Amino acid sequence: MANPKSSVLEPTATRLTVAAPPSQALIVTAFASIYLIWGSTYLAIGFAVQTMPPFLMGGIRFMIAGALMYAWLRWRGEARPTSLIHWRSAAIVGGLLLLGGNGGVVWAEQTVPSGVTALLIATVPMWIVLVDWLRPHGIRPNRWIVAGVALGMTGITILIGPQNIASDAHLEWIGPLVLVFASLSWAIGSVYSRHASLPASPLMGTAMEMFAGGVLLMLAGTVTGEWSKLDLASISIKSWVSFVYLIFFGSLIGFTAYIWLLKVTTPARAATYAYVNPVVAVFLGWALNNEPITIQTLLAAAIIITAVAVIISNQGRRKVA
């Protein structure tokens, strides 16, 4: 979505010169957003779907966030998108990231605990490396990136040890299986978005993707009969607060930062949030839900953070397959 010859901070009409690359501070801030904010959204989603239908909750969330961002950009002077190709690409990206990816998460969290969900979604970097390699003219991961992915998965395995799952209600296979497909869908959407025909403004493209993905989630909620389950009077305060948090922090800040990072860095590097989010989710579970943090959890966290460092530090050394 980002045009390498334009700055995301300039109005469209004034893009006359080649802009400097984004500052390291801005990149670090964007990574901090997806690492910390998205780590907290698993717990927020779990609270929201306690009394809200999952697809409708997700759909309304992203439609509101997309509409707010679109209105703000138009107010700033951004051109109204008119290309049908741009809208088609936005619908595809929104469908893969939000309907397939986020939709799978909100549906699965009806039965799968938020911490376990975060751990299963941590397979995203592995899928992204594979998808980015298998696409036409794909990029082959070097041995260090493969080692980083393997190390990260080792940390995830330690973190999701049998004794951790044993403390929760029995997990049916359908929920975890949906989360695996959600991870794959998110990975495909992440790689596709880097090559799709989208507006030059990355923020406008993000607004379009969120709105289109929200519409698709609403359609999924309609097809699955969620309107008959929606009872506004029965929605708890905790669900409402979580829903508002997901709109402004999870969507407007976190999703925007992720889409921007996909354009200024590599998909596998942007996806390293999936290794940090489980650590954040486990910590929040301890802080807000009285879940214990064990030596095993601390060991897994150290391994995961090391894996993130290995992947990030070796992104520039990949080669075309």
Average pLDDT over all residues of the chain: 82
Exposed/middle/buried for 129, CB within 10 Å: 0-12, 13-18, 19+? buried
| Residue of 216, 2, 194, 201 whose CA lies nearest to 83 | 201
Decide if pLDDT at 7 tops 80.
no
- Determine the pLDDT at residue 20: 67
**Distance from the first to the final alpha carbon of the chain:** 24
Decide if pLDDT at 2 tops 50.
no
Cα 27 from chain centre: 16
**pLDDT category of residue 173 using cuts at 50, 70 and 90:** low
Q: Are the C-beta atoms of 256 and 203 separated by less than 8 Å?
A: yes
pLDDT tens sequence across 196-234? 898 888 889 989 999 999 999 999 999 999 999 999 999
What phi, psi does 172 have (nearest 5°)? -75, 160
| Phi-psi domain of 182 (left: phi exceeds 0; alpha: psi -120 through 50; beta: other) | alpha
- Determine the pLDDT at residue 162: 53
pLDDT tens sequence across 267-303? 777 877 877 888 888 788 778 867 667 787 778 778 8
pTM score, whole prediction: 0.78
Give the residue, 129 or 74, on which the prediction is more confident.
74
Domain extents for the chain?
A: 23-320
How far apart are the C-alpha atoms of 171 and 112, rounded to whole Å? 7
